Amino acid sequence: MAITLTTPEKEAVLKLREALADIKKSAEVSADYTLWGVSLEKDSEDSRLDVILVKFLRARNCDLTKATEMLTNTLVWRRKEKIDDILSEDIDDTLYRKLTFFHKTDKEGRPVCYAFYGDIDQDQVFADLDKFIRWRIQLMEKGIQMVDFVNVDSMVMLHDYKDTSFFGRNSNSKAGAKKVIQLMQDNYPEFLAVKLFVNLPWWGSAIFNMVRPLLSEATVKKFVVCSEYVFSMELLVCVTPYSHSILLLLGSIPR
């Protein structure tokens, strides 16, 4: 189903289009700069541009000034951190590939990202925090390649907390999580469709309260904390038929 914009959103997008030249100039990126493969030309007839721009507007409650600032800051960050080259970087993911990964799509064609927080060697995984963050950004950019900005403009996240320990999080893991959350909030607006939490331990609410100040109200509303049964039903409704094998992997239904 094609992505639709409301009338007020369309009007705001037109205004943001008019500001694109100044935004690119302020961010010190080239006049022919492309974001996620889409040209930021105000007169572009590519409908994907409107979908990308409205994401920044929605992230700032359609406040044109704030959306302009957010887009400008994102372009500055991408330039300074060389994010547009990150997909070509050879980042050794030996320690990370089983921690978080994308696996196919849900029934609406949205990429599904699985994150596992239990049974990992945090001293090893988070030893090089800069490398971990760089890898996580690269993974996000790979996920965006699965988004066409025509029929799909968001992703499904699934976080599994099986076998995690309240006392098992070291300072680097906490710092890494905080940094990644902030980067996603600041530079990847409205990419989250829904986030499912499964096998959440009793102390999970304490962790949530720690990161809650970093999250917008709109983001929090997309969170679904699932019991074993509810999780199984939620995923089976949301994800395509191969979800049974994923549920087995997660240990959320009998083998």
Question: How far from 172 is each of 80, 157, 158, 165, 168, CA to CA, in Å?
Answer: 24, 22, 22, 15, 11
Question: How far from 210 is each of 166, 181, 213, CA to CA, in Å?
Answer: 13, 12, 7
Q: Say if pTM beats, i.e. exceeds, 0.85.
A: no
What pLDDT sits at residue 108?
85
pLDDT in tens, 37-65: 999 999 999 999 999 999 999 999 999 99
Q: Which residues of the chain have pLDDT under 70?
A: 1, 163, 165-169, 200-255
Q: What pairs with residue 160 in β-bridges?
A: 116, 198
Which are the contacts of 205, defined by CB distance < 8 A and separation ≥ 6?
none
Rg over CA atoms, the chain = 19
What pLDDT sits at residue 211?
60
Contacts of 142-148 with CB under 8 Å at 24 or more apart are: 142/87, 142/102, 143/102, 143/111, 143/113, 143/191, 144/36, 144/188, 144/191, 145/87, 146/102, 146/105, 146/111, 147/36, 147/110, 147/111, 147/191, 148/48
